[in-house]
Amino acid sequence: MASTQSVGEKSTNIPFYRDERILRIFAQVISTVIVVGLLIWAALNFLKAAEARNMTLTFGFLKEAAGFPISNPPIEYDPSMSFGRAFFVGLVNTLLVSVTGVITATILGTLVALARLSSNWLLGRIALVFIEFNRNIPLLVLLFILYFVVFGQLPQVKESITWPGPMYINRRGIYLTWPRLTESGTPFVVLVFVGILLAVIAFVVLRRHREMTGQNTYYVQASIGIFVLSGVIGWALTGGTPFEFSVPVLEGFNFQGGLRLTPEFAGMFIGLTTYTAAFIAEVVRSGIQAVDRGQIEAARAVGLSTTQVLSLVVMPQALRIIIPPMISQYLNLTKNSSLALAIGFQEVFSVGKIAINQAGRAVPVFALVMITYLTLSLLTSLVLNIYNRSIQFVTR
Amino acid sequence: MRKLLTLFTVLVLSSMLLSACGGGAATEPAPAETTAPEPQPVEPTEAPGTTEGPAPAAQGGGILEGVKARGKLICGGRTDLAGFGMLDDAGNNIGFDIDLCRAVAAAVLGDPEAIEVVPLTAADRGPALQTAEVDMLSRNVTWTASRDAQWGNFTIVMFYDGQGFMIRKDSGITSTDEFDGATVCVTSGTTTEQNLADFFRQRGMTYEAVIFEETAAVYSAYEEGRCDITTSDKSQLASVRSGFADPEAHTILDITISKEPLTPAVPHGDDAWFDTVKIVMFALINAEELGVTQANVEEMKSSDNINVLRLLGQEGDWGYTDLGLEADALANAIAAVGNYGEIYDRYMGPEGIAFTLPRGPNELWSNGGVLYAPPVK
């Protein structure tokens, strides 16, 4: 370093083709020209090919009536609504299966990782089998098995399996008795939310007070108390009936009422969860094993309990290793949800494929689908990267 | 020193890239010379890298030249629908739709086997035709105005179909009035899907649609009991039912809710090719009308019926010179697959390999049907 600098300083008459600084700028310019040139060339080529094939590249069709049905739309939709709306319905379905999938896969994956690391031989083996089974089978195959083989064995509607609750399981889905908010239930929900907020604030403030002063402030008890109290007040305000239970009843062809999980959603959800959980389990295991044994021994030596060792010493260090590969797993899960078109769950890609066919606009629809996934992925990365930064070692 | 070396490597690599790229962007004279006889002779305007696979595309005509140079016809079809496009025991692609492609191949190339069938899902067929990935799309496609405007040119209706409903016999349903609240399995990207939506909306009934892209998935879900009803073109329902474990347990309701004119289509932008495929279709229908069959096509060449002589290219010009075909092109087509009635009966007639479906509207106009082709003369 020092030598190059001194060379640069004293030899001002060095020819430009040997001057490192000039060459460096030159290389930057060249590579920029190449990259931009390639992009322009590709774009022009694409436009030319699209024009030659009479493919329309406008997005005007998004306002036209879609005309096709979507199975079990999560938000209001009927075929007289626009392509844009249909696309949005698909997006909601994608988000629904991705978000629930990410949450359950994380929980399941962590549990499996802990089981895999446990000293219990049987538990460890079961976890191993779970991981190897799920991550060595293509997801599509897993989905087909779940949907056509496993769910295909379920009984017809009239012979539904009945579990207490009542809960019905048949070829058309799982029907649960589910609480529905009554008309007078709104204040209850509002108060519960306020209660949660107050409880969190109390928890934080009181704990800080204790940490500063050393006085016992009973922060756990206080926050639980606030939460329960707000719930009770809310209950009283609504006259004791904030909820009523909606019970599934067989009417005509199908069960009506209650909460229903369709086989398409259930297949997708279970498939994505178990498949991704297997990968997450390995990520978590690698993170935990990367923590130096000495750290654990030292923590034990100062008298921390097993839980404390895990939560105060192992996890904070393991998380730094776990988070980056975990982001990839979350992104994979979101993108893998596009396989849903094979088993009839209509997320953004399968709606897009239909729109391509019904509207005859392949390029705009694919562009839209790509932008959608890109946005979802970048948002996920952004949030998790911020989190990742917050848990890094603080160095001064 | 090491830095300089790295820099140098980068420079060399990027200059190599640049020159490679420059070569690619130009029309690449060098490789074109060395491999001159082999690739598609059409469209010198486009750089070789820009065409995708077998696509001697729509611009400036030339599908016929492309087919002749390639030595085979690329036909968008299917392998999963008994009667229309299926695989036989030996793994050959056969069926009503496939025979139409074979007829065109026989007329254009003189060899009915010179086809390559590209299996397409319902949702893929439109883009495949739009981008001229296939020379001809014969995959029970319903001809609609919007598809005609967007996808390609539709030739002539070869199968008059209509959408129907299939239900389980033990469901106790007898008419569509009892459909309210039912679950319906349907294929995505089809007119069927739209008709279904219209049908229920019109009658103010609710339903749950279960939608798959693969035809096979639709019917296996229906057979497993995921749906109460499945809906499609009636011919397709008859075809599918024949493959069920217990065909007798299912019934196709006696109601038709739509017009489904199944029509072979060709890419936009090549009028001569459009005419060629159309005339081959006319010929198959006219052959039945004139009594020309696969078996007697040779002896009919010396028939005393002037219309037969014209059809078989023995007298006058039905347009073959203008289209760049041989005089006996249509005779070849008939010799390869037979006339319309023979094709129909082969798969769907009383002795059909796939199933039996009365011809109904697909009878010749002279027999009370609606099948009517312009004269070939």
pLDDT at B5: 54
Of B161, B131, B133, give the one whose Cα is nearest residue B263.
B161
Provide the mean pLDDT of chain B. 84
Q: Is residue A336 part of a domain?
A: yes
Q: Is residue A19 part of a domain?
A: yes
- In chain B, the percentage of residues whose pLDDT exceeds 70 is 84
Query: In this complex, do A264 and B210 lie within 8 Å of one another by their Cβ atoms?
Result: yes
B27: pLDDT confidence band, cut at 50, 70 and 90? Answer: very low
Give Cα separations from B86 to A170, B79, B114, B140, B265 (angstroms): 33, 4, 18, 12, 19
ipTM above 0.85 for this complex:
no
Packing angle, helices B63-70 and B96-109, rounded to 10: 90
User: Is residue A145 located within the same domain as residue A22?
Assistant: no
CATH class for the region spanning B163-258 = alpha beta
What pLDDT digit, counting tens, does each position of B289-313 carry? 999 999 999 999 999 999 999 999 9
Q: Is residue A12 part of a domain?
A: yes
User: Is residue A44 located within the same domain as residue A66?
Assistant: no
A79: pLDDT confidence band, cut at 50, 70 and 90? Answer: confident
B180–A contact, CB cutoff 8 A: yes
Domain ranges for chain B: 63-160+262-367, 163-258
DSSP at A167: E
User: Is residue A386 located within the same domain as residue A272?
Assistant: yes
User: Is residue A33 located within the same domain as residue A66?
Assistant: no
For A296, counting Cβ atoms within 10 Å of its Cβ (0-12 exposed, 13-18 middle, 19+ buried), the class is middle
Across the interface, which of B127, B131, B181 has its CB nearest the CB of A254? B181
User: Is residue A282 located within the same domain as residue A380?
Assistant: yes
B63-160+262-367 architecture in CATH?
3-Layer(aba) Sandwich (3.40)
User: Is residue A65 located within the same domain as residue A19?
Assistant: no
What pLDDT digit, counting tens, does each position of A116-143 carry? 998 899 999 999 999 999 999 999 999 9
Query: In this complex, do A360 and B126 lie within 8 Å of one another by their Cβ atoms?
Result: yes
Residues 321-340 of B with CB under 8 A from A: none
User: Is residue A9 located within the same domain as residue A147?
Assistant: no
pLDDT greater at residue B119 or residue A227: B119
Range of the domain at A388: 55-153+261-396
User: Is residue A9 located within the same domain as residue A59?
Assistant: no
pLDDT at A1: 44
User: Is residue A274 located within the same domain as residue A392?
Assistant: yes
Q: Is residue A250 part of a domain?
A: no
pTM above 0.80, yes or no: no
User: Is residue A289 located within the same domain as residue A380?
Assistant: yes
Q: How far is B130 from chain A (nearest CA, A)?
A: 7
What pLDDT digit, counting tens, does each position of B39-88 carry? 444 444 434 434 444 444 444 458 999 999 999 999 999 998 889 999 99
User: Is residue A367 located within the same domain as residue A314?
Assistant: yes
Residues 286-315 of B with CB under 8 A from A: none
pLDDT exceeds cutoff 60 at A159? yes
pLDDT exceeds cutoff 90 at A65? no
User: Is residue A351 located within the same domain as residue A378?
Assistant: yes
Q: Is residue A169 part of a domain?
A: no
Section B331-360 average pLDDT: 93
User: Which residue of B3, B168, B224 to mutate against A (max A Cβ within 10 Å)?
Assistant: B224
User: Which residue of B211, B219, B227, B258 to mutate against A (max A Cβ within 10 Å)?
Assistant: B211
Q: Specify the CATH number for the domain of residue A327.
A: 1.10.3720.10
pLDDT at B279: 95
Indicate the number of domains in chain A: 2
